[in-house]
Amino acid sequence: MNGEGMDQEVEHHASVAAVPASQFTAGVLPNPLIDDIKSLQTKSGVLIPLKTTQEVRQDHTIVQAYITRIPTKTASEVLAALRLMRPGGSANPLPHLRGCAKPADLPAHLKTQFMNETPEGRQIHTAKSMWLYVMCCEVSDIEEEEELRETLSSVESLIDQEVWVAKIPVPLLAPTSQIQAAMWSSQFWPTVYRKNNPLGPHPSIVARGTDEVKDDATMWMTLAQRVADEASAHGMGEAIGAVVVQRDENGAQLVAVAGDARWRQDPLLGDVGNPMAHCVLRVISMVAQKLVRHERKAMDLTLDLPILNFDAFHDGPILDAEKECFLQEHPNKDGYLCHGLELYMTHEPCVACSMAILHARMGKVVFCNHMPRTGGLSSDDRPDGGGRGLGLFWRRELNWSLLAWELEQDANFDLVTLDPTTHV
Please check whether residue 190 is in contact with residue 98, taking contact to mean a CB–CB distance below 8 angstroms.
Answer: yes
Q: Is residue 352 pLDDT above 90, yes or no? A: yes
* Pairwise CA distance, residues 218 & 216, whole Å: 5
Q: Is residue 1 pLDDT above 90, yes or no? A: no
Q: pLDDT at position 273, please?
A: 86
Q: pLDDT at position 226, please?
A: 94
- Band of residue 6 on the pLDDT scale cut at 50, 70, 90: very low
- Band of residue 2 on the pLDDT scale cut at 50, 70, 90: very low
Please check whether residue 34 is in contact with residue 219, taking contact to mean a CB–CB distance below 8 angstroms.
Answer: yes
pLDDT, one tens digit per residue, over 402-423 is 999 999 876 556 667 788 888 8
Average the pLDDT over 197-219 and give the result.
89
Residue 196's SS3 state is: coil
Q: Is residue 4 pLDDT above 50, yes or no? A: no
Q: pLDDT at position 339, please?
A: 93
Q: Is residue 10 pLDDT above 60, yes or no? A: no
Domain boundaries, the chain: 16-52+202-408, 61-188
Q: Is residue 126 pLDDT above 50, yes or no? A: yes
DSSP H helices in 318-367: 320-327, 351-359
Residue 126 DSSP symbol: H
Least confidently predicted of 221-230, 239-248, 269-278 = 269-278
Q: What is the DSSP string of 222-262?
A: HHHHHHHHHHHHTTSS-S-EEEEEEEETTEEEEEEEEE--T
Q: Give CA separation, 5 vs 1, 13, 395, in Å.
A: 6, 12, 12
pLDDT, one tens digit per residue, over 58-101 is 666 889 999 999 999 989 999 988 888 876 666 677 889 999 99
pLDDT, one tens digit per residue, over 355-392 is 999 999 999 999 999 998 899 999 988 877 777 889 99
Please check whether residue 133 is in contact with residue 68, taking contact to mean a CB–CB distance below 8 angstroms.
Answer: yes
Better pLDDT: 21 or 366: 366
Return mean pLDDT, the chain.
Answer: 85
Q: pLDDT at position 374, please?
A: 92
Task: Give the residue among 317, 333, 347 at the shortest CA–CA distance from 416.
Answer: 347
- Band of residue 161 on the pLDDT scale cut at 50, 70, 90: confident
Least confidently predicted of 18-27, 225-234, 349-358 = 18-27
Q: pLDDT at position 17, please?
A: 39
Q: Is residue 15 pLDDT above 80, yes or no? A: no
Average the pLDDT over 154-170 and give the result.
87
pLDDT, one tens digit per residue, over 314-344 is 888 999 999 999 999 988 877 788 999 999 9
Rg (CA), the chain: 28
Which CATH code of 3.30.930.10, 3.30.750.24, 3.10.20.30, 3.40.140.10 fits the domain covering 16-52+202-408?
A: 3.40.140.10
Average the pLDDT over 149-154 and give the result.
89
Counted residue by residue, the chain has a size of: 424
Q: pLDDT at position 294, please?
A: 85
Please check whether residue 112 is in contact with residue 40, taking contact to mean a CB–CB distance below 8 angstroms.
Answer: no
Please check whether residue 406 is in contact with residue 370, taking contact to mean a CB–CB distance below 8 angstroms.
Answer: yes
Q: Is residue 228 pLDDT above 60, yes or no? A: yes
Q: Is residue 282 pLDDT above 70, yes or no? A: yes
Cβ–Cβ contacts within 10 Å for residue 56, how many? Answer: 19
Side-chain-side CA neighbours of 161 within 13 Å: the count stands at: 15
